[in-house]
Amino acid sequence: MGVVIAFDSGTDKPKASLDQLVKLTHADMALVNDFILEKAQSHVELIPELAGHLINSGGKRIRPMLTVAAARMCGYSGLHHLKLAMSVEFMHTATLLHDDVVDESDLRRGKQAARIIWGNQASVLVGDYLLGQAFKMMVETGSLDCLRILSDAACTIAEGEVLQLSVSQDTATTEDSYLKVVGAKTAALFQAAAKVGAVIAGRPRKEQDALESYGRNLGIAFQLVDDALDYSGKQADLGKSVGDDFRERKITLPVVLAFRRGGEKERGFWKRVMEQGEQTTDDLSYATKLMVKHKALSDTNERARHYGSMACDALAIFPDSEWKDALTEAVVFCISRAH
């Protein structure tokens, strides 16, 4: 059965939130947090210092929550899902540290990026350390299937990041190519995070596949909304600077749509700012104006809704439960961030 997502755009209804997911996973996530703090320790002081900066910076921990909620929805009552959740968060944290070096970002979650405080060198190496710790924890679960899924994800994420480098600054990027990047750099981890919940619970293939599909489509929706917010969000909500993608000349879906829907003169603008990298102070607001004119932002959000619906439908095979409700609401929340 299909699920109707109640989007609240244009209405006065209260926005969807992660509250239910946060509430249900609260006890488990407290243990995951303990693990995270414990495993970010090292006798080399710089490691907990740098890792702690990012770990305590108020990320929503949505990926490890997916692992915990998926395992619980599948009736899992052991403790290994906590180790998997920690591994997922460390893989994500390692990616952020390396991303900030690659993107030369100054801000992360509203704070100075670690690389600004401790340097690129330490960010690369502490990222490597966290990735190593993630694998150590996966090994502790003794599940070769989970190890396979998460090491596959690690490769795919890196592959997606390299692909993004190759297509970056290329205005000829198609929506399909861009979706490949998103599928790899963002959705692969969401997908693995949700799937290992079913795997550790020993559930049959069709439930593993359902959670894989849920995670994948949620991840794509999440990234697309993020791309739109980079042009339309408020800096205080974003935890990063509005226009970062623009300044880093990243070709995201709003740019792809605006470029394709624009005339020759507008395409010349996009080539100048994105390909030649010649940007002046007024260019960001002109770019946003073009996106609004061509409905590039609202259609990016519309595309996100499409993937969000697929995520919710994927959960249909599971019996009704508060876990299922919470996972469904998480999708609605991710999409409603756009408004």
Binding site for a second copy (CB under 8 A): 42-47, 98, 101-102, 120-122, 124-126, 128-129, 131-133, 135-136, 138-139, 142, 144, 147-148, 151-152, 154-159, 161-163, 165-166
Query: Closest distance between a second copy and the C-beta of residue 201, in Å?
Result: 20
Query: Closest distance between a second copy and the C-beta of residue 298, in Å?
Result: 31
Query: Closest distance between a second copy and the C-beta of residue 263, in Å?
Result: 32
Amino acid at 264: E
Show the CA angle centred on residue 293, arms to residues 291 and 297, nearest 5°: 35
Query: Closest distance between a second copy and the C-beta of residue 158, in Å?
Result: 4
Query: Closest distance between a second copy and the C-beta of residue 123, in Å?
Result: 9
Of 151 and 241, CB closest to a second copy? 151
Of 154 and 296, CB closest to a second copy? 154
Of 131 and 314, CB closest to a second copy? 131
Task: Tokens for 296, please give them.
Answer: 């590039």
Of 96 and 327, CB closest to a second copy? 96
Of 6 and 155, CB closest to a second copy? 155
Of 47 and 327, CB closest to a second copy? 47
Query: Closest distance between a second copy and the C-beta of residue 136, in Å?
Result: 5
Burial status of residue 24 (CB atoms within 10 A of its CB: 0-12, 13-18, 19 or more): buried
